[in-house]
């Protein structure tokens, strides 16, 4: 994305070619991500917010509640805000041994020092993302209800996301993906993420169908203004129905 590229240009240029290790504008090295591992269990995606203090407290609470991976997602903020928030969450998550994955942009993943990137249909090419980020980065790909898309990127992606499984309040117009896709994907030996309308009442259905992890926004973070205690409790409620 051009806007993001400009915002992170100086930082991206500071990273070694093919590396997703970044530095700040002042040259300060950013901490490395935790060791790469398949995503399992509860995978939270952040809601749109310009409130850095709330965002940090909310993500810390979600991790305390059992989150195993965090995806930074903000569709409304400008590139400068997204880079600031991504760096903030990278430090918070990686200090707790939880990978931070950036939505949409390889440039932003590099600039923030994130553990990887998650890419949709209109984002950067997953093959190019792997080339730029290297083998130690996490590359996730949204496959919607398209098994053929999963087959196309399975060789380069660490995880493949299918959804919306149950209808999404975040994306009410999103295409619905049948649970049977998760079963087919699991049979191929892929790391599978189920997304879309997942909450404590149905997360187990996604796991039983074949998902290794469930991606959640609203069921954990609510409307994006809740107290940390409520977010931790909500995360625990979803985590409780998932395999240990």
Catalytic annotation, residues? 73, 142, 171
CB neighbourhood size of 191 (10 A): 21
* CB neighbour list of residue 53: distance below 8 Å, 6 or more residues apart: none
Maximum alpha-carbon separation in the chain = 49
Token pair recorded at residue 154? 């399975």
Number of H helices, E strands in the chain: 10, 8
Token pair recorded at residue 73? 């997602």
Instruction: For residue 211, give the nearest of 196, 226, 229, 230 by alpha carbon.
Output: 196
- The angle subtended at Cα 175 by Cα 104 and Cα 161, nearest 5°, is 45
Compute, in degrees rounded to 10, the torsion defined by CA atoms 195, 199, 205, 210: 30
Task: Return d(Cα 151, Cα 168) in angstroms, integer.
Answer: 24
Task: Return d(Cα 47, Cα 224) in angstroms, integer.
Answer: 6
Tokens 């040259």 -> residue: 27
Instruction: For residue 11, give the nearest of 80, 61, 59 by alpha carbon.
Output: 80
């Amino acid at each position: 994305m051009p806007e993001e590229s400009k915002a992170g240009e100086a930082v991206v240029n500071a990273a070694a070619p093919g590396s997703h290790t970044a530095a700040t504008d002042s040259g300060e090295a950013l901490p490395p991500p935790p060791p790469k591992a398949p995503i399992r269990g509860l995978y939270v995606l952040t809601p749109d917010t310009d409130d850095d203090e709330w965002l940090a407290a909310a993500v810390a609470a979600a991790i305390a509640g059992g989150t195993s991976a965090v995806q930074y997602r903000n569709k409304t903020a400008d590139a400068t805000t997204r880079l600031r928030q991504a760096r903030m969450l990278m430090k918070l998550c990686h200090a707790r041994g939880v990978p931070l994955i950036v939505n949409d942009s390889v440039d932003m993943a590099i600039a923030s020092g994130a553990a990887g990137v998650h890419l949709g249909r209109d984002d950067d090419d997953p093959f190019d993302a792997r080339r730029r980020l290297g083998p130690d980065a996490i590359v996730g790909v949204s496959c919607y209800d398209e098994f053929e898309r999963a087959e196309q990127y399975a060789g380069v992606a660490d995880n493949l996301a299918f959804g919306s499984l149950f209808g999404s309040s975040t994306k009410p117009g999103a295409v619905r993906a049948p649970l049977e896709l998760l079963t087919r994907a699991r049979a191929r030996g892929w790391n599978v993420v189920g997304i879309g309308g997942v909450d404590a009442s149905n997360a187990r259905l996604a796991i039983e169908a074949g998902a290794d992890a469930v991606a959640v926004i609203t069921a954990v973070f609510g409307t994006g203004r809740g107290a940390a205690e409520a977010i931790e409790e909500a995360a625990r409620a979803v985590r409780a129905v998932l395999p240990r």
